[in-house]
Structure 1
Amino acid sequence: MIQVGDNIGDVLDTGNFSTKIMEIREWGNSDQYTGRIIQLPNSFVLNQPIKNYTRDFSFIWDEIRIMLIYGSNWKKAREIALNITNPVVKELESRAKEELMRMGEKYFISTYDVKTSIYTSIGENWIEMRLRYVVDPRKRRAVNNLLTSRILEAFEKEEDIVVGTVVSIDAVKASTKEE
């Protein structure tokens, strides 16, 4: 998978004058095919950066943004999210670490850390957690959806964890009062 300018896709064919890619992500924020084939003149290699998602390292880091209202048990939410995520990405972490170590023979790489982690910060009306994990770029959407669904289902069972912001919770309460 490569990105040249705004064009993202899997390389189908490279000829003398052009490269054909199967387009990904044009009208949706996903890593799935749109069904269109883009023909790029090979001059792009001279005048544009090329982002290669899979050449030397077949993984990317993805993040799930989780926003909790103040007063939520963020420590419990963190533990739940990690307990759900770790079994899903454990094998990916292992393979990604091996690939990074092999890349270290070719490039200067200062870290081999691919461990799933959560970074927490304080927002204006929420506690923000960013769940960061490695994933195959072609499976990013599916893994993200699986993890998000499982995390939300687990949070729904907890009375002391509320997803959202104070503003969004207030808006929901106001709309239910009007009904």
Structure 2
Amino acid sequence: MCADIVNPTELPQVELDELIGLFFPDTDSGVGVFHEVDASEMPADANRLLNHCEHMTVTIEDFHHGEVDVKVLEEHDSDTHYSRKILLTRKSDGGVVQYGIVRLDMSTLPQVVQDQIRERKIPLGRILISHDVMRAVRLEKLFRIEAGEELASCFGADPGADIFGRTAWMFCNGKPAIELLEIVNLG
């Protein structure tokens, strides 16, 4: 955990199976098989991209020396929550740099931010930053993932390849608002 956000005994946990289950309802996830790891067990680039409490959009853009675009693969919307499965791609060449699943408690966000998120045109981190939404990221767990079919296909990797990711919470205006699964492409 990187920042004192609320009382640690009151912190919610990202339920990885539940988050993945939003888009993969059967137990055979197209994402892959997850193994929790310590930061020391990850390659240096994966550690740099995942082991922090910053916006992933900013970190990815810094690492790749340029802006990224969002591609929404699938989404679910209700009165209270908006979930989506996404890819972040480099503007420079369209290369896929991140796969992610997010679930947002829309009641914690201003209407203009909600509307812009639902437009599916701008990465989430950039929207929150541009609207000065008070936010903090709490890193939860780091993972080595044996890539499933969908993840491998998105990253141009072989199924079973080792890929790295994390779960995290984003707090907006002091409230747990956004559950994150962020997986980076080092290839």
Which structure has greater helix proportion? 1
**Greater gyration radius:** 1
Q: Is TM (by shorter chain) over 0.5?
A: no
Q: TM-score range by the shorter chain?
A: under 0.3
More contact order relative to length (CA 8 Å, sep ≥ 6)? 2
Taking structure 2 as the reference length, the TM-score comes to 0.20
